[in-house]
Structure 1
Amino acid sequence: MKILYALAVSSLLFFSCGSRKTVESSAATSQTFTNPIAKGADPWVIRYRDNYYVCKATGGGKGQRPGITVSKSPFLTRPGKSIVVWQTPENAWNQACVWAPELHHIGNRWYIYYAAGKSGPPYINQRSGVLESVSDDPQGAYIDKGILQTGSDPNDYVKTIWAIDLTVASIKGKLYAVWSGWERNRNTDQTSQRLYIASMSNPWTISSPRVEISRPEENWERGGPLDLNEGPQFLQRKGKTFIIYSTRESWTKEYRLGQLMLKNENLSPLEKSNWTKKGPVFQGTDRVLGTGHASFTTSPDGREWWIFYHAKISEKHGWDRDLRLQPFTWDKAGEPVFGQPVPAGQPIRKPSGEL
């Protein structure tokens, strides 16, 4: 009997220890995630009322036109189901090639800024447009507010100049738009891109002439087949305004992020001399390639800052990319510190408040 009792106790301890290890392993897994979190490119996320909304372009399935989707989730690391909120019209300037949509909440309406064209390739017809929600529901219906005046060209089919990746933000109570554009329209898409800024009188109207604030001129912005500045994103904290943008070529492993900083919040953003440039502030490694076109948000409890970006899946030139997340910090001078991109499959602790 003593032998049987000893065996029983021994067995109980064995299974208890094994069970505890399983629970500990499960707990550790539930507190972390790994990149990538999805396929795609040009990721945009915005946090609103305890949910994260991700806005993406869709090529449309068989018999469907291209369009834009919005997903909703309480989890930053797990995007929700995508709902189609808009599809391109037929026989219009924006009937094809929908790129890099962004979702912004201004007043009591939502606005989606996007690039599109009447045809492509070549992508010489890309222009920037804006949609307005009919209610305060970001996944509800939208109406087309038209094309944005990103430079005047009386000889162009829509009387404006090539523009993509338009984004907006308020600085000292005034709304501004920043985008990637050409100096003038051309008949080839092998054209270098610059960053422009202009003021807005409302979310669908640019009200001042555009001003160039950046072009690819630094060594870390140059050296490829086509030097680019694109994908600008505002990042604001404690009175400081930054524009984090993508540079080099999106189809290469050298794609990376640069930074513009407004020297003082009381200075006009419409003066190039009021911005300082540095970079690269975030770039690939031998394990993470072509990091670029980022957006930014905070953790569910608001204690952490996170960067949402895309990376290339291989060294081969092309646009096969996936979506990735990781936290970043701020230095004593109040500037963002993005660090190095975390390799795919390496555990990252989930955003604070998401556990």
Structure 2
Amino acid sequence: MIHRYVIAGALCLLVSGSYPVSAKAIYRQNLLMDTTFTNPVGGGADPWVIKDGGYYYVCLSAGNNGVSHITVSKSTSLTKIGPRKIVWTAPASGWNSHCVWAPELHRIGKKWYIYYAAGQSGPPYKYQRSGVLESVTDDPQGEYIDKGMLKTGADPNDPTGTIWAIDLTVTSIRGKLYAVWSGWEQNASTDKTSQHLYMARMSNPWTISSERVKISSPDQPWETGGPLDLNEGPEFLKHDGKVFIIYSTRESWTPQYRLGMLMLKDDKKSPMDATNWIKKGPVFRGTKEVLGPGHASFTTSPDGKEWWIFYHAKKTTKPGWARNLRLQKFTWDKDGNPVFGTPVPAGIPIPLPSGEKQE
């Protein structure tokens, strides 16, 4: 469809005597605008997207005058984030009153659950723990109740009784619910502490029911070499019967942030067995144009024919957490493994997700 502003522009050019070439250029430009988008698609960090009932819900943390919030947006378009509605505000005091990080929205049964990290204060960020909210209704933008802190490792010497943990995510494998998160081996007096990936069984969406098992440490050359070696931001990715954990490694405040991958060798064997995971990486890393891509989530196009990665990248080379949100399509190789390719620079036109119409 040729929009009215294209026709008007063409008529003006006809009057000026330059219609044949310039009108075509304008038409091509506007056709490109109707069929493509460019990164970044928004501001923020640790983007989480979930597709449900024809809508994309994006869950993000936010702050206002020192008060932390969790927001959920709703849109029929993957590339257009809808208005962000505050669904939860951190309490004025307590273990989760500050530093709300990386919330994730999951539908489990008939309820929605938001997993998030928070602390009693910070910086330093040595108090971070993981918690969960449960929806009161089946509306992901509705009211939530706080189900409390998750027991991500026991520490009887700590006031909370548990061990530092962030970026918790969940999934079902062969009918059993599991949690994976980034944590410390033990609580420490400094946040300059290495992070590992841990896994545990859950008896329900708000209760970890087993001891944690370490399934990954920053032990490969592409995971080490910076001021603080980290494994964090784990996210499950499932495709054709295969189970992957795509996680972030190196330091989130540097351009060296990147993605690694764990693949479950045999889903008939326990995912709690660290030897049942194969590590590969980096599977997605920065360039001179795109700095420190990491903490991704995954979804499909509106018609379900394409897979898309939703991630954040740094705005500058300067150490810090000024970041924005980006999308791009990825594919699968002949062995069924994800191929993320190279991050597309900002401003470069990317075809819209299959089945999406520009709003």
TM-score for the superposition, normalised by structure 1:
0.94
Give the corresponding residue for 1:268.
270
2:50 to 46, 49, 61: 46
Give the corresponding residue for 1:4.
none
Give the corresponding residue for 1:154.
156
Give the corresponding residue for 1:353.
355
What fraction of aligned residue pairs are identical, expressed as a percent? 65
How is 1:153-302 mapped onto 2 (pairs within 5 angstroms)? 153-302=155-304
Structure 1 residue 59: Cα displacement = 1.2
Aligned mates of 1:231, 1:213 — CA distance in 2: 14
Aligned mates of 1:247, 1:17 — CA distance in 2: 50
Structure 1 residue 24: Cα displacement = 3.2
Aligned mates of 1:46, 1:129 — CA distance in 2: 19
1:213-244 deviations in Å (ceiling 9; x for gaps):
00000000000000000000000011100000
Aligned mates of 1:206, 1:65 — CA distance in 2: 28
1:79-126 deviations in Å (ceiling 9; x for gaps):
000000000112211011100000000101100000001001111110
2:86 to 84, 87, 93: 84
1:33 equivalent in alignment to 2:33: no
1:102 equivalent in alignment to 2:97: no
1:178-227 deviations in Å (ceiling 9; x for gaps):
00000000110000000000010100000110000000000000000000
Give the corresponding residue for 2:314.
312
Structure 1 residue 310: Cα displacement = 0.6
TM-score for the superposition, normalised by structure 2:
0.93
Aligned mates of 2:160, 2:322 — CA distance in 1: 31
1:322-350 deviations in Å (ceiling 9; x for gaps):
11000000001000000000011111001
Stretches of structure 2 that go unaligned for 5 or more consecutive residues are 1-13
Aligned mates of 1:34, 1:22 — CA distance in 2: 18
SS state at 2:67 partner: coil
SS state at 1:135 partner: coil
The worse-fitting range, judged by mean Cα deviation, of 12-21 and 171-180 is: 12-21
The worse-fitting range, judged by mean Cα deviation, of 23-32 and 12-21 is: 12-21
Shift in alpha-carbon separation, 1:12–1:225, aligned structure 2, 3 A: closer
Structure 1 residue 23: Cα displacement = 3.0
SS state at 1:69 partner: strand
Give the corresponding residue for 2:60.
56
Stretches of structure 1 that go unaligned for 5 or more consecutive residues are 1-9
Total equivalences in the alignment = 344
Task: Write the letter of the residue equivalent to 1:67.
Answer: H
